[in-house]
A and B are shown apart, each in its own frame.
Chain A
Amino acid sequence: MSNKGFVFVIIGAIVECGWAYGLKHANSNLEYGITALLVCASFFIFMQAFKYLPASVAYTLFVGFGAFFIVLAEMATDYYNGNEINLLRVFFIATLLAGVFGLKRLEK
């Protein structure tokens, strides 16, 4: 399993969080423009990952890391606002990471 592919997927997923946030909160033309730019950037970065990883692994990792970063950001804001952390979320993040590390180890 190529490390390079992993790095591209992770960067692509972080950029994806940027535009997911933009879609929710943008309220000017400039902000919508930046959001659209981030969409293109994340697809471009993500496409590079397809060169190094098989399609099934690349897309699953992309979806996995995307959800991982978004949930992490939501949990951080929840905690910051003084709310309890949902343990069920922590559990499914753990199973998600177990899957990612399993895949990583499998192809060595």
Chain B
Amino acid sequence: MIYIAALLLAGLCEVVGVIFLNNMAKAKGVKKAASFIFLVATFASSLSLLSYSMNVIAMSVAYAIWTGIGAVGAVFVGVFFNHEKLSPKKCFYLFLIIFSVIMLKII
């Protein structure tokens, strides 16, 4: 159970990392440096939580779930933080890519 929680938390850290990545591309000066430090911290904790969960959960499954959470989360980051518009077609293509990646990692 705690391993599943670690995996979910790893996915969450990855999404927070994407938020900082997104901020960093737009920010300048001190804000940019701060974003970079948070970015490194969130991705480092995400990866260590991922490798912890791999102690029990099969590597391919853990990796696929982690990628899935991160990719879907990044779409939500775009919608909520940048007010991106999602047309049904765009949604379809994004999820076709994410689904393909998850399947490629499981098989």
- Provide the main secondary structure of the chain B interface: helix
B49 within 8 A of A: no
The range of chain B's interface size is 35 or more
B33 within 8 A of A: no
Q: Let me know if B75 and A56 touch, CB within 8 A.
A: yes
A77 within 8 A of B: no
Chain A: minimal CB distance from B51 (Å): 10
A64→B105 CA distance, assembly (Å): 11
A88→B107 CA distance, assembly (Å): 8
Evaluate whether A50 and B25 lie within 8 angstroms (CB atoms) in the complex, with A56-B74, A56-B75, A103-B94 already known.
Answer: yes
The count of residues in chain A whose C-beta lies closer than 8 Å to any C-beta of chain B is 31
Which A residues are CB-close (under 8 A) to B87? 106
Which residues of B are at the interface with A, using a C-beta cutoff of 8 A? 18, 21-22, 24-26, 39, 67, 70-71, 74-79, 81-82, 84, 86-87, 89-90, 92-94, 96-101, 103-105, 107
